[in-house]
Amino acid sequence: MPTNNLTRAAIASLAIVLMLCACRSDRHSASKQLTLAVNSGVEGDALKQAALDYEKKTGIHINIAEFPYANLFEKELLDLNAATGAYDLIMLDDPWFPRFATKQFLTDLAPLMQKRGQTGPDADFIPTSIALCRHPYQTGALYALPYVGNSQLFFYRKDLFDKHNLKEPLKWDDVLAAAKTIQENESSGGKTYGYVMRAAQGNAAVADFMPIFWAFGGEMFDSSGKPAVNSQQGIAALKFTLELGKYSPPGYPSFNADEVGAHLLQGSAAMSINWPAWISSFSDPSKSKVIGKMAFTTLPGATRQGQAEIGNWLIAIPKDATNPEAAMDFLLWATSPEQMKLSAQRGNPPTRRSLFTDAELVAKFPSYPAQLKSLETARPRPRTPQWNEIENVFGIFLSKANSGELTPEDAINQANAEIEKIVQRAQ
């Protein structure tokens, strides 16, 4: 073979070797990186810090894709539907989970766990939290692990209850009676309203209504899956909500979390349904005028035992994730007792029973016993892929009832008709 041909062959061979090495290097580099989609806020902040800690421990870099709550659902849904493989792990608010699981967007975690010698999530996880991660709900395959254990609590002014010889409210009738007593007797130094609620259209109105709706015996769907919010129980629950509205500050039909929190912190309202994220604010002198005066308990009942709405943040691995094995290692690490305790110290309620009873955490978060009781008995929003659309419609009509635009009967009947249309379109 001529010399120049040998040279060309050698160069070609060397190019192939270098290319193969580059490919191996790229694969090796890719295996050392993960991409995680998180919610902007305390939940995502804790997970971002966990990602930094994990990189220091393992050398695996985790790229963070951070989005505001209002955009996270749509962004994840679009990317997973397009099978882009953009994310190795995603945070999911639990009402979104049925949509993602039904669309088969998520990785079944059981095979990945079995490779690591685990038969499933360990028993320390709270059952109501793990149930959210299964599809079908409670009984099906495991497609996520729970990271943040939110469930609603009932907030009330312990000092005012003691002053007026009122007992901790066990029933919604107790709440109404206490609201009347406090509002009629607490006007010196500024008006104190007996109750404050969120009733802005959409999620806000629904989140505050559901515990009352359930306590009165209401269900969104009957046993055959047909919408049933306009039952007698549902109408009674809405009428009762409007009675509470008489003891809420003016403008409450447009209130969201910030307005409710402001009234509680300033001492201008005495009771509310709220989420644990607000608890720390009541001990902050720069925000609170009611330091040491607020108490937290489980949701009152009516014809049924009171139940909170659960609101957990879950972590899942998309079906088209580039690095599912490395993602699973991080997922198990981030939801371990040691790492979840750090997340709890950063402000996120855990999803493990051992952490709700951890002496150090209970000393820092005295509401943990009430939070644990609430979480263990909480129930999810209806597990339907259409929940986002249903919640929006239901919230519009609840808000119209609170504003007086519609009667309770008209509001709930119209809501039921619209929910039925959503269900029929999905069939």
Domain residue spans in the chain?
A: 12-150+311-377, 153-310+382-426
Average pLDDT over residues 19-47: 70
Identify which has the larger pLDDT, 367 or 20.
367
E strands in 251-336:
271-274, 294-297, 313-316
- 60-104 pLDDT, tens digit each: 999 999 999 989 999 999 999 999 999 999 999 999 999 999 999
Q: Which CATH superfamily is domain 12-150+311-377 in?
A: Periplasmic binding protein-like II (3.40.190.10)
What's the pLDDT score for residue 31? 53
In the chain the first and final C-alpha atoms are separated, in Å, by 72
Q: Apex CA 212: angle with CA 158 and CA 133, to 5°?
A: 100
- 271-296 pLDDT, tens digit each: 999 999 899 999 999 999 999 999 99
Distances (CA, A) of 377 to 92, 157, 195, 205, 406: 21, 23, 24, 22, 33
Whose tokens are 């009832």? That residue is 401
Distances (CA, A) of 264 to 155, 250, 261, 307: 9, 14, 5, 22
Provide the whole-model pTM: 0.90
Residue (of 98, 155, 148) closest to 343 by Cα position:
148
Q: Is 62 helix (H, G, I), strand (E, B) or coil?
A: strand
Residue (of 81, 10, 401, 404) closest to 212 by Cα position:
401
pLDDT at 261 over 70: yes
Above pLDDT 90, what percent of the chain? 90
What's the pLDDT score for residue 187? 73
Residue 64 has which token pair? Answer: 């963070």
Average pLDDT over residues 220-224: 96
CATH of 153-310+382-426, one of 3.10.180.10, 3.40.50.150, 3.40.50.1820, 3.40.190.10: 3.40.190.10
DSSP-assigned letters across all residues of 336-391? SHHHHHHHHHTT---SBHHHHT-HHHHHH-TTHHHHHHHHHH-BPSP--TTHHHHH
**Mean residue pLDDT across the chain:** 93
